[in-house]
DNA sequence: CTGTTAGCGCATTCAA
DNA sequence: TTGAATGCGCTAACAG
């Protein structure tokens, strides 16, 4: 392996001088620089990143903890993160928890051991121990998708999205609106979206039947099952359904299609997430664009600002956009 | 920052002894070990991974270069890679080229600078310069998805998949079969799948009309457009269409639905990839399962074997499985 | 069983 | 403008 010492010798200068031309720091004569650059060119020398890290205490690596990479939201976020980080010479060290909450905590430690300069957590829950642990980290950290006191975070306005979407149904004349949600330990997706729905219904004085409220997990099948429950158990059938993710909505539509329920005439339906497929289902699914890539970019900017001791925002709430389509 | 030196002092031993208990190497008295462990516990000390790397020349990091993380194939592969690698204490350093071939080359260098122990390339092309560069790398490297001499790779049997699928159509009575492919610089997806199709058609003596052969990119829209061309330009309309990816197939189905062409009665259709959505489109799309996660796991195993100087296979071809559904 | 010593590759004083 | 010296935190002989 060729090191800075070899370059120095072959160029007839000291290691310090090589270091200087490498880092464009300090004074180096035109002559010496030329010689060093020539030798570097010839040898194909590349400085050792970890030796550098040992000195500078910087790794130029950001750890990213996520629940899965197989759904569109996190993968879009990672794309945004990567795009912004690579502009500044940072790389992403991936930590996939596979929806295992224990691993979330483990990876926090592991990434610290790896001496990452910062961490981004794509969060699915806000359990106290997790937040506690994050606060104790002496590494810049940004959470995406969930809100929390004292932790820098980038979120969506889940509550108002839910109110807006519910109101959209109502403006279209619907009064009996069902809801397919997820577990409330996911505060953003599970709790806030449900609360927005309830509050908007209440604001209009519309009652909500217990059977209209169903819960799934983050896949298509559970959307199917949720809709099945809604259709088979409700005393009064709803005329619209608000699903908190596109996949749930698509599963629900799948049930409706199978049982001859027409969308949107018999049942209007909308999701959230602007998944690619949403515009190709039949009818095209109304949804909400959350700008996930931008979330990733924003998180990257904040963490870089933090690392470089610049001012950063503790809380960023991103815009959203309803995408009106024929399913409503 | 607390270092090995601090631990040594507080435990009243030498740094070597601390190192020994850390690495479970050499002999350490029960007494000394206890004291050291206690101090580590108290201080929350974690060894610096990069200082360790500087000594051992191992980083326990595998670089992964991929064209995008937003489609199911690469994200499943990464999931498989991550699962296997994490078992052995390795992490993934992500390098997303965003379909930019130049970045593919750049990242090869960058990851080397990062001193990764190995690299995995999820390949979309086999351009000579790229292969050349990979061969010159003195780091273990595995390519996934494309075949190449002298480079360790994990691939699918794209040629026979295409023949099987084409034969499946033929066995169902189809003779006029259209084909939606992609650019042939992608040898596996573009060239081999097309060749399999042509060869199988030829084997049965079925002519292929020029207009039946259309090309898209890796998205749904281009599948729509390709089908539009097939339906509007063909002298003789085909009765079946083989699309090389599910997304192309779904785009094609979207066109057919819009123009009242019934699937599968007027037009049978199949894709490749076993995307999650394939079973929820109407009718469910026939496709081929490629076991992407397993590909990731296999690649991980090979690269770990390589790193640890164990025997590894230079070439792995994975199994596939036709998933029969109502679109054919 | 344990401590001493050396050095991995680099950036950064400090003198010259 | 340059070089010598130092040390980042760790592991690995080696000698005891």
Q: What is the pLDDT confidence band of residue A251, given thresholds at 50, 70 and 90?
A: very high
Number of C-beta neighbours around residue A20 at 10 A: 18
Indicate whether A252 and A224 sit together in one domain. yes
Higher pLDDT, A214 or A136: A214
Q: CA B271 – C1' D5 distance (Å)?
A: 67
Indicate whether B99 and B117 sit together in one domain. yes
Q: What is the 3-state secondary structure (H, E, C) of chain B?
A: CCCHHHHHHHHCCCHHHHHHHHHCCCCCCHHHHHHHHHHHHHHCCCCCHHHHHHHHCCCCEEEEEECCCCCHHHHHHHHHHHHHHHHCCCEEEEEECCCCHHHHHHHHHHHHHCCCCEEEEECCCCCHHHHHHHHHCCCCEEEECCCCCCCCEEEECHHHHHHHHHHHHHHCCCCCEEEEECCCCCHHHHHHHHHHHHHHHHHCCCCCCHHHEEECCCCHHHHHHHHHHHHHHCCCCCCEEEECCHHHHHHHHHHHHHCCCCCCCCCEEECCCCCHHHHCCCCCCEEEECCHHHHHHHHHHHHHHHHCCCCCCCEEEECCEEECCCCC
Indicate whether A223 and A250 sit together in one domain. yes
Number of C-beta neighbours around residue B326 at 10 A: 12
- What's the domain count of chain B? 3
Q: Which residue of B has its CA nearest to A60?
A: B114
Q: Are A185 and A231 in contact (CB under 8 A)?
A: no
Indicate whether A297 and A151 sit together in one domain. yes
**Any chain A CB within 8 A of the CB of B113?**
yes
The answer to whether residue A133 is domain-embedded is yes
Number of C-beta neighbours around residue B51 at 10 A: 16
Nearest by CB to A75, which of B51, B70, B220?
Answer: B70
Q: Which residue of A has its CA nearest to B103?
A: A86
pLDDT on residue B249: 98
Q: How many CA atoms lie within 13 A of A13 on its CB side?
A: 23
Indicate whether B79 and B187 sit together in one domain. no
**Any chain B CB within 8 A of the CB of A109?**
yes
Residues in chain B, pLDDT under 70: none
**Any chain B CB within 8 A of the CB of A94?**
yes
Reported as a single tens digit per residue, the pLDDT across A111-164 is 988 899 999 999 999 999 999 999 988 899 999 999 999 999 999 999 999 999
Q: How many A/B residue pairs have CB atoms within 8 Å?
A: 113
Could B48 and A54 be called an inter-chain contact, meaning their C-beta atoms sit closer than 8 Å? yes
Residue A98 belongs to what domain range?
58-156+292-319
The answer to whether residue B53 is domain-embedded is no
Indicate whether B140 and B239 sit together in one domain. no
Indicate whether A182 and A247 sit together in one domain. yes
pLDDT on residue B224: 97
Q: What is the pLDDT confidence band of residue A50, given thresholds at 50, 70 and 90?
A: confident
The answer to whether residue B328 is domain-embedded is no
Could A70 and B82 be called an inter-chain contact, meaning their C-beta atoms sit closer than 8 Å? no
Q: Are B305 and B117 in contact (CB under 8 A)?
A: no
Contact residues for A45 (Cβ-Cβ < 8 A; gap 6+): A2, A3, A4, A6, A7, A39
Residue nearest to nucleotide C9 (CA to C1'): A51
- Of A286, A247, A245, nearest to A263 by C-alpha is A286
- Residue A27, Cα to own-chain centre: how many angstroms? 44
What is the C-alpha separation between B111 and A127, in angstroms, rounded?
A: 36
CATH number at residue A41: 1.10.260.40
Indicate whether B151 and B242 sit together in one domain. no
What is the C-alpha separation between B15 and B10, in angstroms, rounded?
A: 11
What is the C-alpha separation between A189 and A156, in angstroms, rounded?
A: 10
Identify the residues numbered 35 to 74 in chain B whose C-beta atom is closer than 7 Å to any atom of strand C: 54-55
Share of chain A above pLDDT 90, in %: 91
**Any chain B CB within 8 A of the CB of A59?**
yes
The answer to whether residue B324 is domain-embedded is no
The residues in B 133-172 lying below 8 A from A, measured between CB atoms, are: none
What is the C-alpha separation between B144 and B122, in angstroms, rounded?
A: 5
What is the C-alpha separation between A316 and A309, in angstroms, rounded?
A: 18
Reported as a single tens digit per residue, the pLDDT across A3-40 is 999 999 999 999 999 999 999 988 999 999 999 999 99
**Any chain B CB within 8 A of the CB of A3?**
no
Q: How many CA atoms lie within 13 A of B228 on its CB side?
A: 11
Q: What is the pLDDT confidence band of residue A256, given thresholds at 50, 70 and 90?
A: very high
Which element (helix H / strand E) includes A191? none
Residue nearest to nucleotide D6 (CA to C1'): A55
**Any chain B CB within 8 A of the CB of A254?**
yes
Indicate whether B300 and B239 sit together in one domain. no
pLDDT on residue A26: 83
- Tell me which chain B residues have a C-beta less than 8 angstroms from the C-beta of A53: 50
**Any chain B CB within 8 A of the CB of A54?**
yes
What is the C-alpha separation between A225 and A231, in angstroms, rounded?
A: 10
pLDDT on residue B137: 87
- Tell me which chain A residues have a C-beta less than 8 angstroms from the C-beta of B108: none
Nearest by CB to A79, which of B69, B220, B250?
Answer: B69
Extract the tokens encoding B222: 């281009």
* β-bridge pairing A213-216 and A177-182: parallel
Q: Are B110 and B327 in contact (CB under 8 A)?
A: no
Instruction: Point out the nucleotide closest to A56 (alpha carbon to C1′).
Output: C11
Q: Could you tell me how many residues make up chain A? A: 328
pLDDT on residue B225: 97
The answer to whether residue A273 is domain-embedded is yes
pLDDT on residue A74: 97
Which element (helix H / strand E) includes A63? strand A61-66
At residue A175, does pLDDT exceed 90?
Answer: yes
Q: CA A19 – C1' C11 distance (Å)?
A: 7
Could A59 and B50 be called an inter-chain contact, meaning their C-beta atoms sit closer than 8 Å? yes
Could B46 and A109 be called an inter-chain contact, meaning their C-beta atoms sit closer than 8 Å? yes
Q: Are B253 and B285 in contact (CB under 8 A)?
A: yes
Q: What is the pLDDT confidence band of residue A1, given thresholds at 50, 70 and 90?
A: confident
Residue A208 CB burial class (10 angstroms; 0-12, 13-18, ≥19): middle
CA distances from A189 to A77, A146, A271 (A): 16, 9, 12
The answer to whether residue A327 is domain-embedded is no
Cβ-based contacts with strand D at under 7 Å: A 12-17, 20, 26-29, 31-33, 54-55; B 1, 3-5, 15-16, 19, 22-23, 25, 47-48, 51-52, 54-56
The answer to whether residue A304 is domain-embedded is yes
CA distances from B69 to A29, B125, B134 (A): 46, 17, 22
Rg (CA), chain B: 26
Assessment of whether the complete model's pTM goes beyond 0.75: yes
pLDDT on residue B87: 94
CATH number at residue A123: 3.40.50.2300
Indicate whether B186 and B163 sit together in one domain. yes
Contact residues for A4 (Cβ-Cβ < 8 A; gap 6+): A15, A18, A19, A22, A45, A47
Backbone angles phi, psi at B29, to 5 degrees: -70, 150
Number of C-beta neighbours around residue B138 at 10 A: 7
pLDDT on residue B107: 94
A54 CB inside 7 Å of strand C: yes
Indicate whether A29 and A84 sit together in one domain. no
Q: Which residue of A has its CA nearest to B61?
A: A93
pLDDT on residue B4: 93
pLDDT on residue A78: 98
Question: B141 has which bridge partners?
Answer: B119
Q: Are A139 and A112 in contact (CB under 8 A)?
A: yes
| Chain C nucleotides with an atom closer than 7 Å to a protein C-beta | 1-13
The answer to whether residue A53 is domain-embedded is no
CA distances from A274 to A91, A159, A170, A287 (A): 28, 17, 21, 6
pLDDT on residue A135: 93
Indicate whether A163 and A284 sit together in one domain. yes
Spell out the alpha helix ranges (H) of chain A. 4-11, 15-23, 30-43, 49-56, 72-87, 101-113, 128-136, 158-171, 193-203, 220-233, 246-258, 292-307
């Amino acid at each position: 392996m060729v090191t800075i010492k070899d370059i120095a010798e072959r160029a007839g200068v000291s290691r310090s001088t090589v270091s200087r031309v490498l880092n464009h720091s300090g004074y180096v004569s035109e002559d010496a620089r030329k010689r060093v650059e020539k030798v570097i060119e010839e040898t194909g020398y590349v400085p050792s990143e970890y030796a550098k890290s040992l000195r500078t205490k910087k790794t130029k690596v950001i750890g990213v903890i996520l629940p899965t990479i197989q759904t569109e939201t996190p993968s879009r976020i990672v794309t945004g993160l990567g795009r912004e980080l690579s502009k500044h010479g940072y790389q992403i060290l991936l930590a996939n928890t596979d929806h295992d909450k224990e691993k979330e905590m483990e990876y926090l430690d592991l990434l610290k051991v790896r001496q990452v300069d910062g961490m981004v957590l794509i969060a699915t829950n806000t359990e106290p121990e997790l937040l506690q642990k994050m606060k104790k980290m002496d590494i810049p950290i940004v959470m995406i998708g969930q809100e929390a006191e004292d932790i820098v975070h980038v979120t969506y306005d889940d509550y108002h999205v839910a109110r807006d979407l519910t109101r959209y149904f109502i403006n279209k004349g619907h009064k009996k609106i069902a809801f397919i949600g997820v577990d409330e330990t996911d505060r953003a997706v599970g709790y806030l979206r449900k609360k927005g729905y309830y509050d908007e219904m209440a604001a209009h004085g519309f009652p909500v039947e217990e059977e209209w409220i169903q819960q799934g997990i983050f896949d298509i099948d559970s959307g199917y099952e949720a809709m099945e429950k809604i259709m088979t158990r409700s005393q009064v059938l709803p005329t619209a359904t608000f699903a908190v993710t596109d996949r749930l909505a698509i599963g629900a539509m799948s049930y409706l299609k199978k049982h001859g329920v027409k969308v949107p005439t018999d049942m209007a339906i909308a999701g959230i997430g602007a998944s690619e497929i949403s515009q190709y289902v039949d009818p095209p699914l109304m949804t909400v664009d959350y700008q996930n890539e931008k979330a990733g970019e924003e998180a990257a900017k904040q963490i870089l600002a933090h690392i470089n001791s610049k001012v950063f925002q503790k809380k960023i709430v991103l815009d959203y956009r309803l995408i009106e389509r024929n399913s409503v």
